[in-house]
Amino acid sequence: MQPLYKSTYPLDNRCYEEYNLTEDILMEHAAQGMANYVRANFKEDSSVLIVCGVGNNGADGIVLARLLQGDYEVKLYLPFGVRSVMAEVQLERVQQLDVEFVNDLEEVDVIVDAVFGAGLSRELDERTRRLIVEMEALSGFKISCDVPTGIDVDGNPLPMAFFADVTITMGALKECLYSDMAKEYVGEVICVDLGVSHEKYTEGFESDIQLLECSDLRLPTRKKSNTHKGTFGHLAVVVGEKEGAGLMSGLSALRFGAGLVTMVGEVTTALPLSLMQDMELPYNTTAVALGMGFTAFEDELVEDILESDAPIVLDAGIFSHEVILEFLEQKDREIVLTPHPKEFVSLWNMTIESPLNIAILQANRFDKVREFCEIFPHVTLLLKGANMIVAQDEELFVNPHGGSNLSKGGSGDVLSGLIGSLLAQGNSSLESAIQGSLALTAAAKAYEGASYAMLPTDLIEEISKLEKNSRTI
């Protein structure tokens, strides 16, 4: 895991005040990090166009031009001139070399966007928007310095942003790079150090939000030999009107290590032999999954579930039904909620006075999750999206590893099964949500078929191979 920061300016200031570093030194290291990437990925004599803004982001780009000059065909474009003190200093230095200054964009191998970086708080003017459109029309590989131009502090384009293949960010990872709205723009994110190690740079600055890495996945590997099916829990998956949703949850739970899975309710579909069926909660239930495929909840079975103290994962239809309020009142129960944005808006508007719609949510995902968890600190929330957010109380985690192949009906049902399986095996609600989300994205990444072709059943199949694949990494 790595911490994410809303702003890294306080971390920069500590470098000046405590480590006796200067703005100049940090700028050199920022540009060196970009130069190292260029040198590692593009052969010498490749053409590099660096487009710089008026401030310190532009100054980073000017330093990059100086570092690459001589080994690469560097072209420096300053469409708006320079304004900051450091940009002026760096411009004086680079003018002592034979760097080519150009007055317009031109086709090159690499385009570097150093126009605006972190901290953007106003809409881009028309000239900058036109510049972005022209830069994007170039065919070269595109790198953004720190944050793609146009992305604001909340991760939203204002009103547009530069599409980068790679964003090389400075010092520490920024929260804005992991919003759903920014995902399409940032490309691969690489963090480079600024004169001190990452540990020293971030030391003493805690963050309430952590970026989940692929290496954080912990599979429910079975290491003991003297066990039986009851050792690994019994998940009760409640079947709704759309039976397929519950079946996919049940199968994914079984694949992910639950010792027993029972489909609870009336089932007309022929069940796989590995799944059991009952009309009420089994006496030895260790976790419950409820909501998948449901449109109505007027049932005695739901009352029995409310009276149970078994950990529970709630999904789909339950977020538009007032019975969810009764579950939210159960403060001593392990509860995981897994809504997609529309479902979260429905849940929010039932439980919180200030109205919310999808547009506001998507533009403020982190803040709205924090607000919800402040009101319901005992609940674990997994907000689905391009980057899933898992949160409980004051802790937030972001899983950025999902891809568009998960954008298909049934993926969420598989996720509920994975989380339910871990709950049944005795994991906490927070750990179950984190590991379930990581397993889902790992399985999706492992799928080798066409990007549009993956089915929920393919995901379940890939889940069965994760342990083997992890041993070969």
Whether residue 305 sits in one domain with residue 424: yes
3-state SS class at 103 = coil
Residue environment code for 362-400, b if the CB has 16+ CB neighbours within 10 A, otherwise e: bbbbbebbbebbeebebbbbbbbbbbbbbbbeeebbbbb
183: which DSSP letter? H
Across the range 302-327, mean pLDDT stands at: 92
- Sign of dihedral through CA atoms 455, 457, 460, 462? negative
> Strand pairing partners for 313?
289, 336
Q: What is the pLDDT of residue 120?
A: 78
Which helix (H) or strand (E) is 2 found in, with range? strand 2-5
| Among the ranges given (47-56, 297-306, 438-447, 463-472), the one the predictor scored with the smallest mean pLDDT | 463-472
Q: How many CB atoms lie within 10 A of CB 141?
A: 19
| Domains in the chain, number | 2
- Position 403, amino acid: G
When pLDDT is cut at 50, 70 and 90, the band that residue 222 belongs to is: confident
Whether residue 407 sits in one domain with residue 259: yes
For residue 437, give Cα distances in angstroms to 140, 212, 253, 396, 415: 35, 10, 13, 13, 7
Identify whether the C-beta of residue 324 lies closer than 8 Å to the C-beta of residue 347.
yes
When pLDDT is cut at 50, 70 and 90, the band that residue 149 belongs to is: very high
Across the range 163-167, mean pLDDT stands at: 97
Whether residue 386 sits in one domain with residue 247: yes
Q: Looking at 183, 207, 231, which one is the last position of a domain?
A: 207
267 vs 165, residue with greater confidence: 165
Q: Looking at 181, 207, 233, which one is the last position of a domain?
A: 207
| Among the ranges given (110-114, 137-141, 213-217, 318-322), the one the predictor scored with the smallest mean pLDDT | 318-322
3-state SS class at 162 = coil
| Among the ranges given (230-244, 336-350, 361-375), the one the predictor scored with the smallest mean pLDDT | 230-244
> Strand pairing partners for 191?
169
Q: What is the rounded average pLDDT for all residues in the chain?
A: 92
Whether residue 187 sits in one domain with residue 309: no
Is the confidence at residue 297, as pLDDT, over 70?
no
Q: Looking at 162, 191, 207, which one is the last position of a domain?
A: 207
Is the confidence at residue 218, as pLDDT, over 70?
yes
Identify whether the C-beta of residue 162 lies closer than 8 Å to the C-beta of residue 197.
no
Q: How distant is the alpha carbon of residue 73 from its chain centre?
A: 36
pLDDT in tens, 380-438: 999 999 999 999 999 999 999 999 999 999 999 999 999 999 999 999 999 999 999 99
Whether residue 414 sits in one domain with residue 307: yes
CATH number at residue 31: 3.40.50.10260
**Distance from C-alpha of 425 to C-alpha of 256, rounded to nearest angstrom:** 10
**Distance from C-alpha of 311 to C-alpha of 427, rounded to nearest angstrom:** 9
Across the range 93-102, mean pLDDT stands at: 90
3-state SS class at 41 = helix
**Distance from C-alpha of 11 to C-alpha of 191, rounded to nearest angstrom:** 14
CATH number at residue 295: 3.40.1190.20
Whether residue 258 sits in one domain with residue 126: no
| β-strands 73-77, 100-102 pairing | parallel
Whether residue 190 sits in one domain with residue 133: yes
pLDDT in tens, 446-466: 999 998 999 999 999 999 999
The structure's pTM equals 0.91
Any residues with CB less than 8 A from the CB of 130 and at least 6 apart, and which? none
Whether residue 227 sits in one domain with residue 180: no
**Distance from C-alpha of 39 to C-alpha of 31, rounded to nearest angstrom:** 12
Q: Is 352 exposed, middle or buried (0-12, 13-18, 19+ CB in 10 A)?
A: middle
Q: What is the CA radius of gyration of the chain?
A: 25
Whether residue 393 sits in one domain with residue 308: yes
pLDDT in tens, 115-138: 998 877 789 999 999 999 999 999
Is the confidence at residue 167, as pLDDT, over 50?
yes
| Among the ranges given (130-139, 221-230, 274-283), the one the predictor scored with the smallest mean pLDDT | 221-230
Whether residue 186 sits in one domain with residue 68: yes
Q: How distant is the alpha carbon of residue 452 from its chain centre?
A: 21
For residue 159, give Cα distances in angstroms to 105, 138, 150, 295, 445: 22, 21, 7, 38, 31
Angle between helices 243-255 and 411-424 in degrees, nearest 10: 50
- Reduced DSSP (H G I as helix, E B as strand, rest coil) percent helix, strand, coil of the chain, to 5: 40, 20, 40
Segments of 103-201 assigned E as strands = 110-114, 141-145, 166-170, 173-174, 188-192
Whether residue 294 sits in one domain with residue 174: no
| Edge-to-edge strand list for the sheet holding 276-278 | 173-174, 2-5, 209-211, 395-399, 388-392, 380-383, 335-337, 312-314, 287-290, 234-238, 260-264, 276-278
422 vs 293, residue with greater confidence: 422
> Strand pairing partners for 302?
none
Instruction: Provide the residue range defining the domain that includes 422.
Output: 215-472
Whether residue 134 sits in one domain with residue 33: yes
